[in-house]
Amino acid sequence: MNDRLGRGLSALIPDNDAPEIPKAALNTLPIDSITPNRYQPRKHFDAVKLTELADSIRENGIIQPLIVTKTAHSGYELIAGERRLQAAKLAGFTEVPVVIRSVSKKEQLQLAIIENIQREDLNPIEEALAYQALAEDFELSHAQIAQIMSKDRATISNSIRLLKLSDEIRDLIASELLSPGHARAVLSIEAEYHAAFVDFILKYKLTVRQAEEKSKTFAQTSETPARKSPKSHLLRTMEVDLRNRLKAKTTIRDKAGKGKIILEYNSPQEFEALFKKLSES
């Protein structure tokens, strides 16, 4: 790990809840005793690459141990090594080598973000969410984040701006169907034209430069898109109620009495918990 990054973030963030005497130990733990890192910025894992890693682990074992921390409930929470943990499960392992460290919540987020960003394992939306976590949870400015990550301040700001886009457009960016450069061109026009402009970019396969030029006139040359009816107070209340009951992000989409309810989860453990709650209902 880049020592400069670790020192930079530690220096900027007062770590009052860190243990006075850091501890580290080599050990082997049952996979079932390790829970995912709640601060893991990476949400999507390439299935093919994960399978390849599982094959390698099955053949050669886990060369680099995972990093975990002990929880208050006598279990262990992952700090770094999510791909290795998932691949080990695929390979049929029941135990994995670990380094046990006593860390604060801030250090846990620091290590998870830096590991992924430095290895370039995050897609643009995951990276934006990681920077947003640093800004909101630690109250860091974009300039401070840029210093920590050895990037330009504009790069950090532009990355976080991607989160202003709709979920549908963010999904296109995460799946690399739309580049961050194209997305910045989309952000330069009014939000009501975003979806139509993205469709235009994809249909005509515009380069980033072409998209930037077209964004200057797209609103004037396009028909005003139909505005969506505002979501009723009842639907918003139902969304909040379901979100609180199921502990999952909930979206209700309704049109003339027909629609769908979307429940989101970010890990197999969250899916199992959600399924259990639904089964009990």
What is the pLDDT confidence band of residue 272, given thresholds at 50, 70 and 90?
confident
Domain contains 262: yes
Residues 22 and 135 in one domain: yes
Nearest partner of 135 among 111, 159, 165, judged by Cα: 159
Flag whether 125 is in a domain: yes
193 and 104 together in one domain: no
Is 82 an annotated catalytic residue?
yes
Radius of gyration of the chain (CA): 22
**Are both 252 and 273 inside the same structural domain?**
yes
Residues 131 and 174 in one domain: no
Q: Answer left, alpha or beta for residue 98, where phi above 0 means left and psi between -120 and 50 means alpha.
A: beta
Does residue 227 belong to any structural domain of this protein? no
- Establish if 270 belongs to a structural domain: yes
| Statement to judge: residues 147 and 55 lie in one domain | yes
- What's the pLDDT score for residue 99? 86
CA–CA distance, 181 with 268 (Å, rounded to integer):
32
- Does residue 135 have a pLDDT over 50? yes
> Tokens standing for 44?
């999507």
Catalytic residue among 77, 82, 115, 127: 82
Q: Is the pLDDT of residue 154 over 90?
A: yes
Indicate whether 54 and 90 sit together in one domain.
yes
pLDDT mean over 149-170? 91
Both 257 and 153 in one domain: the answer is no
> What is the pTM (predicted TM-score) of this model?
0.55
pLDDT of 110 > 80? The answer is no
Residues 197 and 274 in one domain: no
Tell me which of 173, 190, 221 is where a domain ends.
221
* 120, 247: one domain: no
List the one residue out of 82, 161, 173, 185 whose CA is nearest residue 125. Answer: 173
- We report the CATH number of the domain holding residue 74 as 3.90.1530.30
- pLDDT at residue 122 in the model: 76
- Domain with 194, as residue range(s), is 165-221
When divided into structural domains, the chain yields a total of 3
Residue 19: pLDDT band by 50, 70, 90 thresholds?
Answer: very low
Mean pLDDT of 25-37: 82
**249-265: pLDDT as tens digits:** 888 887 777 888 888 88
Within-domain flag for 29: yes
Instruction: List the structure tokens of 190.
Output: 């009014």
Instruction: Single out the residue in 115, 139, 158 at which a domain terminates.
Output: 158
- Looking at the domain assignment, is residue 94 inside a domain? yes
For residue 209, what pLDDT is reported?
Answer: 95
The verdict on 171 and 94 lying in the same domain is no
228: in domain: no
Task: Tell whether the torsion through CA atoms of 218, 196, 183 and 136 is positive or negative.
Answer: positive
Give yes or no: residues 217 and 253 share one domain. no
187 and 250 housed in the same domain: no
β-sheet bridge partners, residue 58: none
Q: Which of 124, 140, 158 is the last residue of a domain?
A: 158
